[in-house]
Amino acid sequence: MDAVDSDDNYASSTITTASNSKEKPLSLYEIEKAKRTLVEEKYEKLLKEYLDIKKVRDQSLVDAQPILNEKAVKKLDKTEDTHSSEDDIDCVNKYSPT
């Protein structure tokens, strides 16, 4: 966040310096153009950072997928082992209306 503030401070100090010197003052168009350029540069920088983070995250998900699949299979195996068909038969016999 400091980088953003420092860019803004730099831009405002540059504009102030130019207007305080003996050079002709910047027009409103030039000031807006300079601001737009700064915003575009910040946008490009943030977009690049976002895409880098997204690339790393996506790769992490791809790398983690086999591990997640293995854990899911193990969990299914455990739940199937604790339940037997004899329990089903006992339950049906116990609660049947006959």
Number of domains forming the structure of the chain = 1
Residue range of the domain that includes 32: 27-79
- 54 within domain boundaries: yes
- Residue 1's pLDDT is 47
13 vs 7: CA distance, rounded Å: 10
* pLDDT by position in tens, the chain (length 98): 445 555 555 555 555 555 555 778 889 999 999 999 999 999 999 999 999 999 998 888 888 888 878 877 777 776 655 555 566 666 656 666 65
- 3 within domain boundaries: no
31 vs 53: CA distance, rounded Å: 33
- 5 within domain boundaries: no
- 15 within domain boundaries: no
φ/ψ (deg, to 5) at 82:
-80, -10
- Residue 25's pLDDT is 86
